[in-house]
Structure 1
Amino acid sequence: MTVEFNLLLCAAYLLGSISFAVLLARLRHQPDPRSFGSRNPGASNMLRLGNRPLALATLLGDMGKGALAVWLARQLGLEPVQQAWVGLAAVVGHILPLYHRFQGGKGVATGAGVLLVLSWPAAAIAALVWLGAFAVRSTASLASLAACVAVLPWMAWHSPQLQIPVSLMVLFILLRHRVNIGRLLAGNENRFRF
């Protein structure tokens, strides 16, 4: 099982390294998402193109790779804590992708996909917090940060064995948002205009 676990960690990282924003932009002959807006290869920045279907496809692709990694770990009979580590590997792949010189996205959608399979109630809490925060402030980064932090108490109470890998996942996502956090504190973070 140790060999399977280690191989799956590597596979999850490589799966996470696939950037759906970059891939879909190339397929649709759109600008590279790393060259405009927030320069982040994620669904929010793809929405800045004004192409909602492309943004939705990016969101689903990024969520799907996190969900797939954990689902595969479950199908192979790995313990829940091992599934969580595999999910973390997928998120790290998204944030530091091998295929794109380790310049990836923020990891929020991939993390959401991980949670969806690992603990759907935690994913539901994160989604509700994200929607609530976004409805109030129209700021994707603030909504994402709030959703990440909201997951931690739930996991600590209901799934303490998953606390370390999930906390590390949240930490990676928070660190990837450090520039956004600075702008939020300064009061000049971008809001979405629909």
Structure 2
Amino acid sequence: MFWLVIAYLLGSVSFAVLISHLRHLPDPRKLGSGNPGASNMLRLGNRSLALATLAGDLGKGVLAIALARYADLTLQQQGWIGLAAVCGHILPIFHRLQGGKGVATAAGVMLMLCWPAALIAALAWGLTFYWQRIASLASLLASLTLPPALAWLAPALLLPVTLMVLLILLRHRLNIGRLLAGVENRFRP
């Protein structure tokens, strides 16, 4: 329980909000898509701050699993720790439960838990984004690659990671509606 709380609190640190505050910029939850994540930071026009946000959000997923390994938790327990970090990112206690979509933090978690599955998801993200230029679609398809990959590569992670994917899908429900309506935002080259 202790490590779940630590992972949730770690996940609750919103790097988009923190970086915006430190740079005296507007709160990213009030601009663009309203999402405090790397895509919205990029949409707001600052590539270096988007990369810093991505690195921070990935890093907290990596750190949560590194701490779980340090505590000598089993692989499945590490999966639950990763889920807690993603929950913290999506519903951060430090930011009135107004968090991001969880994709970058989940990527950091997966890099540590099962890097081959993370590589498959990253490839799916990259190909989808290159094809459609829609970050939400790329994120959704990348997330959906994880359960089948883990069923093959690391079955012990299947339950916690499937719940993580379902949470990410739920967080993208408005994006899914816009995708189905054909009006989701595209990044322009």
Q: CA deviation at 1:49?
A: 1.8
Structure 2, unaligned runs of 5 or more = none
Partners of 2:71 and 2:116 lie apart in 1 by: 23
Q: Does 1:9 align with 2:21?
A: no
| Counterpart AA for 1:191 | R
Q: 1:135-182 CA deviation, whole Å, 9 max, x = no partner?
A: 000000000000000111110112111100000000000000000000
Match of 2:115 in 1: 120
Counterpart selection for 2:166 from 148, 168, 171: 171
Match of 1:186 in 2: 181
TM-score with structure 2 setting the length: 0.99
Q: Is the 8 A contact 2:11 2:84 kept in 1?
A: yes
Q: Does 1:142 align with 2:140?
A: no
| Counterpart AA for 1:187 | G
Counterpart selection for 2:89 from 71, 94, 98: 94
Partners of 1:84 and 1:120 lie apart in 2 by: 13
- Residue aligned with 1:50, SS: coil
Partners of 2:51 and 2:161 lie apart in 1 by: 25
Partners of 2:69 and 2:123 lie apart in 1 by: 26
Q: CA deviation at 1:76?
A: 1.2
| Counterpart AA for 2:43 | R
Partners of 1:190 and 1:77 lie apart in 2 by: 43
Structure 1, unaligned runs of 5 or more = 1-5
Match of 2:75 in 1: 80
Percent identity at matched positions?
A: 67
Q: 1:57-107 CA deviation, whole Å, 9 max, x = no partner?
A: 000000000110011101111000000100100000000000111110000
Q: CA deviation at 1:119?
A: 0.4
| Counterpart AA for 2:94 | Y
Partners of 2:59 and 2:114 lie apart in 1 by: 15
Counterpart selection for 2:24 from 26, 29, 43: 29
Q: Is the 8 A contact 2:117 2:153 kept in 1?
A: no
Q: Is the 8 A contact 2:175 2:184 kept in 1?
A: yes
TM-score with structure 1 setting the length: 0.96
Counterpart selection for 2:61 from 63, 66, 80: 66
How many equivalent pairs are there? 189
Q: CA deviation at 1:39?
A: 0.2
What is the RMSD computed on CA atoms of the aligned residues? 0.6
- Residue aligned with 1:190, SS: coil
| Counterpart AA for 1:121 | P
Partners of 2:147 and 2:125 lie apart in 1 by: 14
Match of 2:52 in 1: 57
| Counterpart AA for 1:72 | L
